Structures are given as structure tokens and as C-alpha cells.
A and B are shown apart, each in its own frame.
Chain A
Amino acid sequence: MDVTLLLILLFIGAVATYFSGNAIASKVALFFSVAALGVSLALLNQFSQGTDISFSAQWIKNPNVLFALKADGLSIAMVLLTTALTPLIVLSGFGNNFNNAKNFYALVLFMAFAMIGTFLASDGFVYYIFWELSLIPIYFIALIWGNGDAEARKKAVIKFFIYTFAGSLFMLAAFIYLYQKAGTFKWDVLVGLDLSATEQFWIFLAFFLAYAIKIPLIPFHTWQANVYQKAPTIGTMLLSGIMLKMGLYSVLRWQLPLAPNAAKELQYIIIGLALAGVVYGSIVALKQKDLKKLLAYSSLAHVGLIAAGCYAMNMDGLRGAVLQMIAHGFVIVGLFFAAEVIYRRYETRTISEMGGIRQQTPKFASMFMILVLASVALPGTFNFVGEFTVLYSLSTENMVFAVIGGTTIILGAFYMLRMFQHAMLGETNAKMFADVTVSEGIVFVAIIGFLLFFGLYPKPIIELITPSIQEILVHVK
């Protein structure tokens, strides 16, 4: 058994969902996403026993392209993040009635397929194809099933598409340049190339454009809040939970090992940009009236901190970044889902129009509270482990970084708790707030269970990712 099985399964799942018809599409999608989770756990089991689950075959002879998928701890962790979140994301759609549900869920599975390909590919060209491929489903998901005025949505979505596409084209140009030098796209050959300082500088910059737009880092973040707000919640979950982790993962996997010297030279500037995003995101989040937008800006702040951890380029920074990627993936999906649960009942996303939910549904309120606390990295949650490690690594680089980065926790606590207060406590809204349904409950419980369990016992994940981070650091140093 190797990792191609996972890709094939998800692809077949997408096709089967498309042909299953609108009535049962969501259930078929759930079935295949759970099956993918099962397969990825089985693969994890094999991997931890030392079996080789990588795959490689010649795809194009001229130019020399291998269809190569390599599974190491880091990529398996990211694959598991994807396969664990996909069933939850599909399940979270059970309360919505989508037009043409078969197309919708097929696109969700197709997107999971493309993202898993991105995490696994070890041939630059194949990696690029999967990377781009993941853009198409999210474009249609946000365009067709999004909310708000159609014209405004179209503008936001096309801006997102052109932005990300533009960034990745520069990455493609860099890959072509590297191919001319190496004669192959294989990761282990490319990272072994001896590049001059100028070459590294430009290659670093080309990759940086692609990733900074995807993550997003200031000043390339302008697409984000609008798309998060206008996309359907499932699309927002896919984007914030998994897709932007593609950018962060790629920094670790491709950018740093390929151009380590340039990365060291530009390190302070880029950590500066990332931390600027932390502060900017937090301050803008303070001002938001729309719940989804508030979460979008809080996500900008958290991701900025993860990026800073990546560019710290030491063991703790990278490890903390990966842990925080996983933790943030779960918590942000949970929070966006909470926003959707409120919207289903109150038909509003404006925080001031909510209120008094806790009196009606204490269960939902407490689950929401745990998610809010996890997002502000309360000790005991998985987010604390990641965020603390990143902040520690920043302090070893420069104390100032750690202090600025620490503002996420303070400001984050402030705006998240204020939001909670306005939305959940206070005057009761005139409308009834029905209790959470079973499918909604499963999603919340799964996410909270994950966050609390690994918050107390993060060792398995740390052990899984550490060897591959060490390998990356060998290339960086």
C-alpha cells in the first residue's frame, strides 16, 4: 500500500459524488472522506512501522518529470490534517441545502485530492500542478455557492484567483530555472544544487511571492478577508483550515531548503512582515462587526505568527510552526462552523445582532467558549503548545520578535472574548436559538476532543514530525 491509494480514493470519491445525484451526494462525500481518513491512518501505521509508502514513476520523459510522492513525517502530518478535517467539513454542510449538491461536494473532495497531492509531491513539477489544481475547486465553490451580492462576490473571488495564480506563476518560472540547472525536478536533487547568492535571492523571491500570497502575509493579504466573508462557510473552512497551510508547508518543504542563504539574509525583513501581519490582523480584528471577518483577521494574525516561526529557521521555530498549523487548522474550522451554526438560526453574521445564546443553549455556548479559549492559546489546549514553541524560538532569535509576537495572545484574548461576550451573553435575541443538531454536535466534539487531547499529550505528533524537520534543517544549514 502506498500513498497513491489515498489520491485515487479521493479522486474516485469526487467522481462518485458527482454521479450520485443531489439527494445523497453529501452522504457519499462523507463516506469517501471517512474512508480517506481510514486509509491515511493505516498509512500512518505502516509508516511508523518503517514501511516505505512513497511512490515514484516516470511521467514525462522530455522534460524529465517524475510522478513522485514522498511521505515523511511532515507530509504525513499535513495529509492527516487534511483527511481529518475533510469529513468534519463535509459533515458541517449537512445543515445546509446547497443547490446542485453533487457538484458542490464533488468539488470539496476534489480539493482535498489536490491538497493532499501538494503535501505529498516530491517532484517540483507535480507539486506545482497539484498546487494550482487546488485553486480551481475553491474558485467555483466561492463563486457559485458564496453569499452576498453576486457582483461584489465575483470581484472578490477573481481577485483572489488572479492574485494566487500570479504568485504561483513566478514559482513556476523559478522551477523552470532550477530545472535548467539540474535536469530534473526532484526535491532531493534540487535542494542539493549549488546556487550563487544572486540566484538564490531571485528564487527565494519568486517562491516568496507564491507563498506570501497564499498564506497570506502583509502586504499580500488584501484578498483574504473579503473571500473568507463571501465564500460559503465550507469554502472558508477549506481555505483557512487547510489551504493556507499549503503555503506554510511549502515554505518549509521547498523555499527554505532551496534558497537557505537568501532566507538567512532576508530573515529579519520577512519575520518583520509576518509580525506586522500579527499586529495588523489583531488590531483590525478589534474593529470588526461581522463575525466571519473577525475570524478572518484573527486567522491573519495567527498565521503571521506561524510564518514567523517558519522563518526563524531553528528546530523550535519549525516544530512549533508545524504544531500550530495543525492546531490552527482545527480551531479555525471549529470557529467558522460556530459562526455558521449561529447564522443558521439567526440569519446574521453581525455580532451586535446576536446575544443571549448562552441562556438558550448552554451546550453550544460552552463548546464555543472552549474553541475561543483554544484560539487564544490557553494552556491545556493544543494551540498553546504550538504558539508557545514558536514564541520561544522567536525569543532565541531576538527578544523583540517574541514580544511583538506575544501581542497576538493579549490582543487575541481581548477581541475573541469581547466577541464571545457580545454574541453569547447579554440580552436575549428575539428569535429562538435551537439546540445543536447531532451532526453539528459531532463536528464540535471531534474538534474539541482533538484539541484537548493533543494539548495534554502532544508527544505523538512531535515525534512524527521531528525527523523530517531535522532533515530540512540539514539542508538549511
Chain B
Amino acid sequence: MNTLIAIAVLGVIVLLAEIFNLRKAIIPVTLAGLIATLGLTVTEFGVTESHYNNMIKVNNFTVAFSSLFIVLTIFLIALSADFYQERASKISDFVSIKLFLLAGSVSMVSFGNLAMFFLGIEVLSIALYILAGSDRLNVKSNEAGMKYFLMGSFASGIILFGIALVYGAVGSFDMDMIYEASNSATTVDWFYIGVSMITVGMLFKIATVPFHFWAPDVYEGAPTLTTATMSTLAKVTAMATFFKLNMAMNGNMKFEYELVIVIVSIASMTVGNIMALRQNNIKRMLAFSGISHAGFMVMALLNLQNATGSLFYYTAAYGLAGIAAFTVVIYVCKGKDNENIENFNGLGKRNPLMAGILTASLLSMAGIPIFSGFFAKFFLLNQVLNAGWLVLVIAGVINSMIAVYYYFKVVSAMYTKEATEEPAKVPFEFYIVAVLAIGLNIAIGLFPSALMDLF
């Protein structure tokens, strides 16, 4: 609860700082504030309480995911100063929007009421629409913002429709009531229709097949820092929320629903990976790779009782690797009019550290030990096999092989091709963010119990 208030207040402070002409202080103050908030959040661990008539419920799930979101946001905001250098006059807008986005994320994992859930998802989505279209003079960014807004609001509409049907069936927005209703034998049919519609909307937000068509275009067009936000923070948030919704609404999951999840998972992994093979633009490639990772993450739904830890681990591993990778992408593609893989040629010689970090994060995404991406996949596949879906394990394994090919395409471009230009200077904070993110990624790989035993 305190987390949410602190983040929202921080957002307002950032806006006020602009008025009082303290533009230079915005990013340091925000980072300090977020670190303090992280501390505040972590101390709430182990507490279970509810606020405002059960609107907000705090438990370990909430605290763990909120902390992850705050960590990811700290990284994203640390990158902002350099990224928005040319539009420094708008920096307060960009930072405060990211903070409100974080507020949306936190309320999405801590809701106790469907109204709160919808509020959270809208706060998050609207912030993302703005950020996607925030490069006003760039046609691609405009297109991305528009596309994302049209498709996203459509999905929000479907979610809202689903919420209405669930309300019609249960007579309450409260998650506890919904949980009871979902377990009772007398639930009316439109409850399930409502659940299905919410599922459709959430699958859109996570960008899983067949609701993935927006992702590559929006990822490519949006400013790269926004792409980073979408593919790490927003995707992870949507996945955690989807998991939480299912725990409440799908306590005894029907076989048909499980089958849908299995099909979505296999289709996402396969389509995402196969499409990624053909991409030459690294943002599009990471978009498709994100789709295949979404396919992995939805596997957690098949074992709702036990998979919380595995899902949290996966989201942390994926989010941290994504931040590290995008930091390097932002650095390499700065001032370029495209994000093609050729830009990475010879990075191994131009800047060995940055090349090493990108290599490590791609290896993590590919699922190679000792990086945490490997453990994440392993834990999830373990849960899935525990739930009896051998076919999904085999599909996941085959997809891991396909994925190696396109991740290594970038790696070999960095180390075997000759550089075409002189190395650019790396801003200091980029080093810190990239090293910290990949360091955390490896650290949780070496000590997986640190996260797995939280739940």
C-alpha cells in the first residue's frame, strides 16, 4: 500500500520540480525516491493485509513482484537522462509518465477488486500509449503510438466486457467473492464467458499468439527506451497479473482452458521463434523473441498452486536480461536511423564490455547455463512436467534450440564482422545499468534459491 502511495507522490514531485525549475534534480531525486520505495516495499515482506475495503491486498506475491517492477523502473529511469538528452525540456514528463506507469504496474499485482485491476491496467496502458508515440516528429513513432492505442484500447474494451459479465454472474467485483463463485458448482455460464474475455484481453497485453500482431510494429516504431519498457516492465506486469487473475478466477481450471493455454504457449513459442529467425532489425527480433518468451511464461498457468516462484524467477531473469540487452541496443543505435544488426558489426572490438554484456544477456535469453534464463526455463519446464504436460516440455525444448540461432546471429556479428565506424563514447550510467542488470541476472543464476524460496 505504502509503495503505491510513494510512487504516485514521487510522480507528482517530479511534475512539481519542473515548475520550480529544478530540472537537473529530477532524475537523481527520482532514483533516490525509488530506491527508498524499494526498501519500503521489501520491509513489507511477510505481511498480509488489505486496504480500502479490500481494494488493495498486500501479500508476498504483491511485494515480490512490486519490488521487481521497481528495480526494472530504476534501471529504465537511469537510462532516461541520456536518452532524452535532445529533449531535456520534456524530461519531467517522460520521468513522471514512467512513474505513473509503475504505479499502474504495482496496482495491477496488488488489486483485491476487479475495478482496481482495470484501473491499474488502464494507467499502465495509457502511459505506454503516450510513450510509444512520444517521438512526435518521427512518423514511425506516431504510427506505433496510434497502432498500439487502437489495438490496446480494443483489448481493454474486451477486458471490461469480461469484467461486466463476471460481475453479472457473481454480483461483486471483489476477488474473494469471485474466488468462491469460481469454486461453486452453481456458477452460471456467462461467468466463464467473462473469464474467457479477460483471458483474451490479457493475452493481448502479454503479446501471445494469436494476439501478437501489434508487437513487432509497435516495438520497432516506438523510441527504443519505450520498447525496453514495453518488453520488460509491461510484459512482466501483464504476465504476473494474468497469473494472479487465474489464481482467483480459475481455482479448479477446466481441461478445456488448460488446453487453450497449452496451444497458446506452443503457438507463441513457435511463431515467435520462427519469425525472429528472419528479422534483420534487432528491435523486431527482440519483439518476436519476447513473444516466444511470453509463450514460456504462460506455461506457469498450468500449475497454479506451485508455479508462483518459477514464474517470478522467469520474469526476473527475463526482465533483467532485457534491460541489459536494451541498454546496449540504445547505446549502439544512438543517432542511427535504423536498428539493423549490421550496426553491431565489430562491437566486440569497438567496445568489448558492451559486447560482452549483450552476449551475456542474449545467452541468458537463449537459456544457456549459468545465466538465470536457463534456470528460469528449467524451473518452468519442471512445473509443467509436474502438471503432466510432457508435450509442452518437448515443444519448449525444441523452441530453445531454434532460438539459439537468431541470438547467436547477433553474437557472431559482434565478434566476426569488421567495424565500420569509430566507437562512440558510452555514458557512464549506461555502464552502471548494464553491468548491474547482467550482474543481478548472473547472481540469481548462481543462487536461485534467493528468489525461489520467497513463496
Task: Give B residues with C-beta under 8 Å from A.
Answer: 309, 348, 363, 368-370, 374, 378-379, 381-382, 385-386, 390, 393-394, 397-398, 400-401, 404-405, 408, 412, 415-417, 448-449, 452-453
Contacts and interface: CB of A to CB of B under 8 A. Distances in A.
Given A60-B449, A173-B381, 16 more contacts: A62-B449, A62-B453, A128-B369, A129-B374, A132-B368, A136-B363, A143-B412, A144-B416, A154-B412, A169-B398, A172-B397, A176-B378, A176-B393, A177-B390, A180-B385, A180-B386
14 contacts: A61-B449, A62-B449, A63-B382, A132-B368, A144-B348, A150-B417, A158-B408, A169-B397, A173-B381, A176-B378, A176-B381, A177-B385, A177-B390, A179-B382
Contact of A133 (B370, B401, B448): B370
Interface stretch (A159-167, A394-402, A440-448): A159-167
Contacts of A180: 382, 385-386
Contacts of B386: 180
Closest 10 CB pairs of A and B: A129-B369, A166-B401, A169-B397, A132-B369, A150-B416, A154-B412, A60-B448, A173-B397, A60-B449, A144-B415
A143 to B, nearest CB: 6
Contacts of A143: 412, 415-416
A144 B418 CA distance: 12
Interface of A: 59-63, 125, 128-129, 132-133, 135-136, 140, 143-144, 150, 153-154, 157-158, 161-162, 165-166, 169-170, 172-173, 176-177, 179-180
Nearest to A62: B452
A161 B405 CA distance: 9
B449 A165 contact: no
Nearest to B399: A169
Contacts of A62: 309, 449, 452-453
Contacts of B369: 128-129, 132-133
B412 to A, nearest CB: 5
Nearest to A144: B415
A63 B417 CA distance: 42
A113 to B, nearest CB: 11
A354 to B, nearest CB: 30
Contacts, number: 74
B135 to A, nearest CB: 35
A158 B412 contact: yes
A63 B448 CA distance: 10
B419 to A, nearest CB: 14
A143 B412 CA distance: 8
Contacts of B449: 59-62
Contacts of B401: 162, 165-166, 169
Contacts of B408: 158, 161
B370 A140 contact: no
Contacts of A135: 368
A192 B379 CA distance: 24
Contact of B415 (A61, A140, A162): A140
A161 B374 CA distance: 16
Q: Is the contact region of chain A dominated by helix, strand, or loop, or is it mixed?
A: helix
A166 B400 CA distance: 8
Contacts of A173: 381, 393-394, 397
B416 to A, nearest CB: 5
Contacts of B381: 173, 176
Contacts of A166: 401
A172 B416 contact: no
Given A143-B412, A158-B405, A169 B400 contact: yes
A63 B379 contact: yes
A166 B368 CA distance: 12
B266 to A, nearest CB: 15
Most chain B CB neighbours (cut-off 10 Å) among A62, A157, A161: A62
A292 B189 CA distance: 71
Contacts of B368: 132, 135-136, 165
Contacts of A150: 416-417
Given A63-B379, A176-B385, A177-B385, A162 B404 contact: yes
Contacts of B393: 173, 176
Contacts of B405: 158, 162
Contacts of B379: 63
Nearest to A136: B368
Nearest to B417: A150
Contacts of B412: 143, 154, 157-158
Nearest to B366: A165
Nearest to A140: B415
A394 B87 CA distance: 76
Nearest to B359: A140
A129 to B, nearest CB: 4
Contacts of B382: 63, 176, 179-180
A275 B417 CA distance: 41
Contacts of B378: 125, 172, 176
A169 B396 CA distance: 10
A180 B383 CA distance: 9
Contacts of B385: 176-177, 180
A313 B382 CA distance: 32
A157 B404 CA distance: 12
A154 B381 CA distance: 31
Nearest to A177: B385
Contact of A161 (B370, B404, B416): B404
Contacts of A60: 448-449, 452
A178 to B, nearest CB: 10
Interface centre among A135, A136, A165, A176 (most CB of B within 10 A): A176
A128 B378 CA distance: 11
B314 to A, nearest CB: 14
Nearest to A169: B397
A154 B397 contact: no
Nearest to A146: B416
* Residue from the set B386, B397, B400, B448 with the largest chain A CB neighbour count within 10 Å: B397
Contacts of B400: 165, 169
Nearest to A131: B369
Nearest to B393: A173
Contacts of B390: 177
Contacts of B397: 169-170, 172-173
B146 to A, nearest CB: 39
A179 B400 CA distance: 20
B363 A165 contact: no
Contacts of A61: 449, 452-453
Nearest to B383: A63
Nearest to B452: A62
A157 B386 CA distance: 36
Interface centre among A60, A61, A170 (most CB of B within 10 A): A60
Contacts of A125: 378
Nearest to B348: A144
- Kindly name the residue among B348, B363, B379, B401 whose own CB sees the greatest number of chain A CB atoms within 10 A: B401
Pick the most buried of A125, A153, A165: most chain B CB atoms within 10 A of its CB. Answer: A165
B346 to A, nearest CB: 12
Contacts of A132: 368-369, 374
